[in-house]
Structure 1
Amino acid sequence: MIEVTFVTNDGKTVQAPENSNLLRVSLREQGGIPFKCGGGICGTCRCRIEEGQEHTDPVKKKEKNHLSEEDIEQGYRLACQTFLLGNVKVAWG
């Protein structure tokens, strides 16, 4: 199991299986990441991986439609497109 900390949600920390989708973990555990479509189309679930960026899967093409290279370098991802391979801390807003 890995740990996901929702920094913007008072630092709420939850456990999830490795290779979990970040948005699905947030929905299941009431993490609070905002979303509308859940499919990489709207960009609403934009968030920043504050710690553990190396524990996420590679950035996908759909994400590049909403995030600049600078955003990606700063740790921004779309939660609906991000799968977790280890512990992360995520913030949004």
Structure 2
Amino acid sequence: MPEVTIRLGTETYQMEVPMGANLLLEAVSRSIPLPFHCTTGKCGTCQMRVIKGQENLSDYSEQELYRIDGEAISSGYRFACQTYVYGDVTIEAVP
């Protein structure tokens, strides 16, 4: 199973998730306090930055491509609610 490492402020969380799992849903189900609001990619509250393992995530959704500017996409920014995990990844929550 893929391992996800989440950096949130000074805290670091690790979890194993099923292949193809939604990143936000898995974090919330484990009481990892990732910020979120709408869960549909419209608000941007769950924005995060991929530190390592971008190749192990789903492609960008239409919502992400519409709401995240090109420079931020190049820097690895994603929405947790729109991201599915297919391998090990390290992310950093964006305050």
Q: TM-score range by the shorter chain?
A: over 0.9
State how far apart, in whole Å, the 1-side matches of 2:54 and 2:87 are. Answer: 9
Q: How many residues align?
A: 93
Q: Which blocks of at least 5 consecutive residues in structure 1 are unaligned?
A: none
Give the SS at the match of 2:91.
Answer: strand
Deviation at 1:30, TM superposition (A): 1.9
Counterpart code for 2:25: R
Shift of 1:31: 2.1
Please give the alpha-carbon distance, in whole angstroms, between the structure 1 residues aligned to 2:79 and 2:13.
19
Q: Deviations over 1:15-44 (max 9, x none)?
A: 110100011011111222100000111111
**Residues 47-69 of structure 1, C-alpha deviation per residue, up to 9 Å, x if partnerless?**
11111111111111101222011
3-state SS, counterpart of residue 36 of structure 2: coil
SS at match of 1:34: coil
| Other-structure match for 2:86 | 85
Structure 2 residue runs of 5 or longer lacking an equivalent are none
The equivalent residue for 2:5 is: 5
Structure 1 runs of 4+ aligned residues shifted over 3 Å read: none
Percent identity among equivalent residues?
34
When the two chains are superposed, the root-mean-square deviation of aligned CA atoms in Å is 1.1
- 1:54 is matched with 55
Query: TM-score when scaled to structure 1?
Result: 0.93
Letter in 2 for 1:8: L
